[in-house]
Structure 1
């Protein structure tokens, strides 16, 4: 076995990591460095973004921690959070090395989901909907990237990242892959009027992806001026703030009273769902992307009897990583200005607070030391 595809004997025994025990109980601790089994890759983490779902988990959202009303617990604490990671391979298991696909020093990313490869969905190639899956950063057996090192197990969906791609751009591959998938779900046509609600990191990725579809009009909604300005730079034709104007009426006025053809919800706020149902035209396509902190209620008769809408969910970024990586690298998906703050891992609480408040910050990235 060559040096470039071997185990490492110089990895440290311990590392600093963020460990989640319960809602609000996240601690900076010294833990054991993971080592590679025959089918594993050990990654030295270069950077890890903080996702909105990390904040919702920290706050105790029932969709993650369960609610005693039928919503099962999803997380398996104590776990190391973080699924928006990139890094370099520092140890490779013998079976992985034998295949020759990955070598020491490769810059890598793995998709958020770790599928079982055995259920009905995996058998049909629909791995992102795996029935018995794990997700990096939410279960202790697949600890995430808020640490110096992490393990990619055999079932990981791993992709290479160009070495010359700046960290601030490379760390956006995972969220942007989700953005691309959501936009693809909308089946955007050339003459469509598309409304995108939410210009956070994922929403901004959707702006770039939707612009590549070249609809007749791309409208972006958000409540923060700096995010709307970035959306405009990324390709939005029109930006509007729902706090300052009646956006439903404005869109109807632009479309002879019909409403938009495609509405993509990426805010995670319940009001954006009702807003979209009221704004979209009959026979329109509604794409729901967000993970909500609580149940959302809506008048379902709008979906059926009144408008006969096509309703599409969007989950993760399946089959989108190669395109997303290439499109970020060559500039087709704009990224400048999305990463607003880079903090050492030891300041993760500051990063969480900044993401929660959302003022003056879009994407916060943690860098292990």
Structure 2
């Protein structure tokens, strides 16, 4: 087979097309060719599709940065370089760092100034086959882990990075804002830190119900006055210790400022389409808050795979819909029905 189907992005704002005669790439030295088994649709992919994202990228490219694949061919030296064999299932980290700049010298490879991104500057997983580059960090999928869970590795790894940044303590009251793929990952990862109470905040009741199954002690809508009362009761009126913001909604950020105690920690992982207007005195004069950002997933892909393989995090519950590659536009624009849980939509090129 020398040709394959692939979704190609020719520009932002609805310029995605399904190409049926895209050449199957040949792996060069150190490279790995995989058959894509499943590839997720991210909020960033939707922002590319509707033209609302903040990025500048080269066109055309194949989107899809959440993927799992089966090794079908390798270039010279790839097997030894990556510890892989034909038939292995594997995921690659989306960011590929180069050089030896300030950030890589300090172990912050996800922040390097010299980087490629699979599904953006290099072709990603919305295709029947894709290349894992020679410089990619590749992780074998543990035996017994489903394709759905393996496909969830990238958002879960992001979530774990955010939870690690927040430095949750045993006696903390922790709030997770947003029940999308990263929010649900944060909820499950934060539960493993054994905080005193774990609260999910999300508008949709169906997702709140699932959040309770996945480890939340309580779940509320953002505007529910019972949320404020519960936090006050748990903390003697002080406010929550940690607020993990994964929704990307500006109102959710400001809600966190209200709910946190003095010297509380607000971890921001959402991607925002609008600026947030806040009184900066809340950060310093009134609460002396710790405001932290979270970005990508350094050193956490392996952790994500391990936690799912051990049954400590349920990745299958977070990939709620699987569609054929040809239905990518439906996947990008799909809205859940009333009462339906939609967390992660994934594309299966084998269908």
Tell me the TM-score range normalised by the shorter chain: over 0.9
Q: Report if aligned partners of 1:56, 1:293 keep a CA contact under 8 Å in 2.
A: no
Residue 163 of structure 1: how far off its partner (Å): 3.7
Distance in 2, matches of 1:299 and 1:26, equals: 40
Which of 46, 51, 69 aligns to 1:60? It is 51
Task: Report what 2:254 is aligned to.
Answer: 274
1:1-369 → structure 2 map (5 Å cutoff): 12-22=1-11, 23-30=13-20, 31-64=22-55, 73=56, 75-99=57-81, 101-139=83-121, 142-245=122-225, 247-248=227-228, 250-354=230-334, 360-369=341-350
Cα gap change, 1:98/1:324 in structure 2, threshold over 3 Å: closer, same or farther? closer
Cα gap change, 1:54/1:356 in structure 2, threshold over 3 Å: closer, same or farther? farther
Distance in 1, matches of 2:37 and 2:316, equals: 19
DSSP-derived class of the 1:324 partner: helix
Which piece of structure 1 moves more, 299-308 or 221-230?
299-308
Distance in 1, matches of 2:81 and 2:281, equals: 54
**Where do 5+ consecutive residues of structure 1 fail to align?**
1-11, 65-72
Distance in 1, matches of 2:154 and 2:296, equals: 9
Q: TM-score, normalised by structure 2?
A: 0.94
DSSP-derived class of the 1:35 partner: coil
Residue 243 of structure 1: how far off its partner (Å): 4.1
DSSP-derived class of the 2:238 partner: coil
Residue 266 of structure 1: how far off its partner (Å): 0.4
Q: Report if aligned partners of 1:248, 1:278 keep a CA contact under 8 Å in 2.
A: no
Cα gap change, 1:321/1:62 in structure 2, threshold over 3 Å: closer, same or farther? closer
Q: TM-score, normalised by structure 1?
A: 0.89
Runs of 4 or more above 4 Å deviation:
355-359
Number of equivalent positions: 347
Distance in 2, matches of 1:357 and 1:80, equals: 29
DSSP-derived class of the 1:213 partner: coil
Which piece of structure 1 moves more, 156-165 or 238-247?
238-247
Residue 360 of structure 1: how far off its partner (Å): 3.8
Q: Report if aligned partners of 2:103, 2:112 keep a CA contact under 8 Å in 1.
A: yes
Q: Report if aligned partners of 1:328, 1:335 keep a CA contact under 8 Å in 2.
A: yes
Cα gap change, 1:366/1:100 in structure 2, threshold over 3 Å: closer, same or farther? closer
Distance in 1, matches of 2:133 and 2:25, equals: 11
Distance in 2, matches of 1:81 and 1:215, equals: 37
Which piece of structure 1 moves more, 155-164 or 354-363?
354-363
Distance in 2, matches of 1:212 and 1:98, equals: 35
